[in-house]
Structure 1
Amino acid sequence: MSSPPSTAPTLAYLLLGSNLGNRAALLAAARQQLAATAGDVVAVSGIYETAAWGREDQPAFLNQALAVRTSLRPEALLAACQAAEQHAGRQRLEHWGSRTLDVDVLLFGAEIVDTPTLVVPHPRLPARRFALVPLAEIAGALPHPQLHETIETLLLRCSDSLPVRLWPG
């Protein structure tokens, strides 16, 4: 059973990540698929090369933030994100392991969602520089719905010291 569409579009923020295969091509394919299934992609950050977080003994990631104007409800947006991951050949073999594509729902308007399958705002967003840097590029002045601080402020206070560099590719 699919979720009914919301009455008005919501601006949601997603984070794409890949550290296996042709990372840039996988991000590009995910952007296209999400534009076709999730809503209008209205902002796209640069692509950043980032050290792996959680399990650092793996290849570096390419990460990119998207703003998507969507009429989907949060769970349906998550399903669209997971479909993009499956299309890219994502296999969930180990927690925080290498992957062809990861798509996280970081924010869904000002909504707070807490279900068994989805928590938004993403609970680890304030602690992850690899998510905050690209998100701040496209939504730095946006307030976090629970912490009531801007994304830029969260980035300035983030204690994560793993490198995040604009990818020259």
Structure 2
Amino acid sequence: MTKSTDSLPREYAVDPGAHRNSPQPLQVALRLWGFDEREVRSWIDDLPSLDGTLNWSIARERAADGAAVVVHVVKPSPRAQDAFCWNCVGANRAMVCALEGTRPEIVLFAGDAAQLPRRRAGVWSVAGDMPAYAALQALAYMIGASAGKGANGQFGMRRDLLAVIAQRLDA
């Protein structure tokens, strides 16, 4: 014999409209600098969603509309004669613009710290010897730790906290 849910105590009752009130996941857009989109697209399904907190996508344009946070994923691109990184130039310029914006943006540099430009805008994390995919997975947990529910019940980012913990990835 089954018992009707009408007679269950209130704390056990299931609200049929609860899914409508659940918070939307935090939209994380990846901007690629030197990485092949097909390669990164193969990573997305395996990136941590942290129980639905994060939703990953690839941003093809600067605006990255709908994204709550943007991760610029930079592949080192040194020229033959020196360690200058052309991909860093684009990412650094994007970070200068990001400092004027309202959403947090971070750079994940998939290389050695010695290849970084001396002057950098914003928050940069260095993967060092970690493969870019593994570093992005680690960064996902940092983004999740920086996310929290606002007064409206939706996820948002604590930019200051993200800046502090992103440095932990640095090699």
Q: TM-score under structure 2 normalisation? A: 0.30
The structure whose Rg is larger is 2
The structure richer in strand per residue is 1
The structure richer in helix per residue is 2
Higher relative contact order (CA 8 A, sep 6+): 1
